Amino acid sequence: MKLLTHNLLSSHVPGLRPGGGFPLRIEAAEVRVRPVPFNAAFVSRLVPRLRWDALREAAESLGRPSELPPEPSPGYEADEEFLRRLHHVLLEVEVLEGSLQCPDSGRRFPISRGVPNLLLSEDE
């Protein structure tokens, strides 16, 4: 699971209050880095969609020192170094084993071989 996916993901456990499913808390047992070709324009256009605090928190929870500033600074669209660092955090870092925890319900979703299992049980 990439951190981009994590930043967009919101728990779909039924009966949560609005916004109560985000952000899922990452408990990572195994993480890897997989190179992905860099596309500055794409990364730049992702910035407005991201929840920045949740992204920094997620990067830190993976035991990586946060290479990201507290906020994207004005003019980030032209700042290649910033975009490359963001690209790395969003697309190249993957959680292979661990789990995601829904903030409101506490429900855990296991991650295995990089794939989170979001299947709900019969009674959910």
Partner 1 sequence: SSRVVEIQSQMSERAVELLGLPEDRACLLLDVGCGSGLSGDYISEEGHYWIGMDISPAMLDVAVEREVEGDLLLADMGDGIPFRPGMFDGCISISAVQWLCNADKKSHSPPKRLYRFFSTLYTALARGSRAVLQLYPENSEQLELITAQAMRAGFTGGMVVDYPNSAKAKKFFLCLFVGTSGTLPKGLGTECASEEPQQAKFTNERTRFRNVKGKSVKKSRDWILEKKERRRRQGKEVRADTKYTGRKRRPHF
- Residues that bind partner 1 in the complex, under the rule CB under 8 A: 1-2, 4-5, 8-12, 21-22, 36, 39, 41-42, 46, 49, 51, 91, 113-120, 122
Q: Which two tokens stand for residue 64?
A: 């990586």
* Closest approach of partner 1 to the CB of residue 23, in Å: 9
* Closest approach of partner 1 to the CB of residue 81, in Å: 20
* Closest approach of partner 1 to the CB of residue 46, in Å: 7
In whole angstroms, what is the distance from residue 46 CA to residue 100 CA?
22
Q: For residues 22 and 109, is the Cβ–Cβ distance under 8 A?
A: no
Q: Which is nearer to partner 1, 73 or 97 (CB)?
A: 97
Q: For residues 33 and 93, is the Cβ–Cβ distance under 8 A?
A: yes
CB neighbours of residue 16 within 10 Å:
17
- Which one-letter DSSP state was computed for residue 123? T
Q: Which is nearer to partner 1, 65 or 124 (CB)?
A: 124
In whole angstroms, what is the distance from residue 103 CA to residue 83 CA?
29
* Closest approach of partner 1 to the CB of residue 97, in Å: 13
Q: Which is nearer to partner 1, 42 or 67 (CB)?
A: 42
